[in-house]
Amino acid sequence: MKALIVGGGIAGPATALALAKVGVESVVLERRTDAQADDGSYFSLAPNGVDALRVLDVFDLARDDGFPTRTNRMVGATGSFLGALSLGPSLDDGWVGLTMKRPHLASRLAAEASRRGVDVRTGVSVTSVGDHGDHVSATLDDGTVLRGDILIGADGVRSLVRTAIDPTAPPARYVGLTNFGGITRATPLAADLVPEAWEFVFGRRAFTGAHPTPDGDVVWFVNVPEPAIARSVRAATTDDEWRAKLLELVADDAGPMRELIAGGELELAGDNTYDLGHTPVWSRGRMIVIGDAAHAPSPSSGQGASLALEDAVVLAQSIRDTSSVQDAFAAFEKARRERVEKIVAAGARSSSSKVPGRIGRVFQDAILRLVFRYAVTESRVAWIGGSRIDWDARVA
């Protein structure tokens, strides 16, 4: 069997690696060029994502490019402590989460897939896909037509494959937050932050996060509740102008963000954040969508990449354990849909807590303290990061 995989982000190369374990050959088609492999900021994988990397035998590669994260600490605009939550139950050897540059995970997975014999092509755009009954095809922007037995859309929230499978599929939803990310190198502020933890501040006008690295840098992000930023505005705004905007937004909040922004490099600016809840149809004939193309939790969930990695492994298991493409896709959907849709819903709630209304803003700290004491607790969210994959178990 040969799989055409559209998208070389996280789900795409991870699926190629998983399919190789069950003897399926793949081609990964990615629009980004190798020169763009550094564009983007940092993110964290929860223990369930780390577990999936281990199933694929690529955890060591990712770990060498990242650092451990155990906890999210929540702080109010005045600096008062609101609560703390681990990224999930630890793995057998004590590992919890892994923080690294988002594009680096994609490029490391792709490089490893290539090393293991997968045909990975970067700088190619898929312009259309087709299911022809006994085979599938993908047409590239240079006119090349590739042929395979199955086609996997791992092409992200604006998936072309999702629309090819179901032209009435709902589009992704803007969650009301723009995102900025950066790094401040060799800063004494790193020593003021708790090691192996994100410090999240529910600020007056923005939600921020900062994480010290083992090298003495601090990586950080700012989420701004505001309308989506147009591409033309993004293109016309300089880093200094973005920095001035961010400094104004965090001006009245406690914590190190002002100095981190003032002395840091912007790695991501004016990124609009989306989610995708219920996509009614995941597969048709020989084509299927996975990862963000099928179900994108908002970045606030901290789960999108981990779910994409889980999908990759479960899809390969489904193909291994069934005797037809249709049965495999049905088994995959049965194993995945309920879990991922619950996590997208949880992510939407967590995004909206970053955008409080006027009344919510007044009582924000008091409300959040109660939320982290009674509603969002370790035991209540353990099912998210505590999920583990048994590679040898048959997919029901």
- Of 81-89, 224-232, 300-308, 328-336: span binding ligand FAD (CB under 6 A): 300-308
30 binds ligand FAD (CB under 6 A): yes
217 binds ligand FAD (CB under 6 A): no
Binding to ligand FAD (CB under 6 A) within 142-171 occurs at: 154-156, 160
Min dist CB 384 to ligand FAD, Å, is 11
Q: Any idea which residue has 């959907």 for tokens?
A: 333
In this structure, are strands 218-225 and 173-184 parallel, antiparallel, or unpaired? antiparallel
Min dist CB 25 to ligand FAD, Å, is 19
Q: Which of 176, 182, 264, 291 binds ligand FAD (CB under 6 A)?
A: 291
316 binds ligand FAD (CB under 6 A): no
d(CA 13, CA 32): 13
305 binds ligand FAD (CB under 6 A): yes
The closest of 179, 200, 121 to 304, measured between CA atoms, is 179
Min dist CB 8 to ligand FAD, Å, is 6
Q: Which of 4, 27, 43, 206 binds ligand FAD (CB under 6 A)?
A: 43
243 binds ligand FAD (CB under 6 A): no
Nearer to ligand FAD, 18 or 365 (CB): 18
Min dist CB 107 to ligand FAD, Å, is 10
d(CA 361, CA 372): 17
55 binds ligand FAD (CB under 6 A): no
Q: Which of 270, 302, 347, 385 binds ligand FAD (CB under 6 A)?
A: 302
Min dist CB 226 to ligand FAD, Å, is 15
Residue ranges that bind ligand FAD, judged by CB under 6 A: 6-12, 29-32, 43-45, 102, 125-126, 154-156, 160, 179, 271, 273, 291-293, 296, 299, 302-306, 308
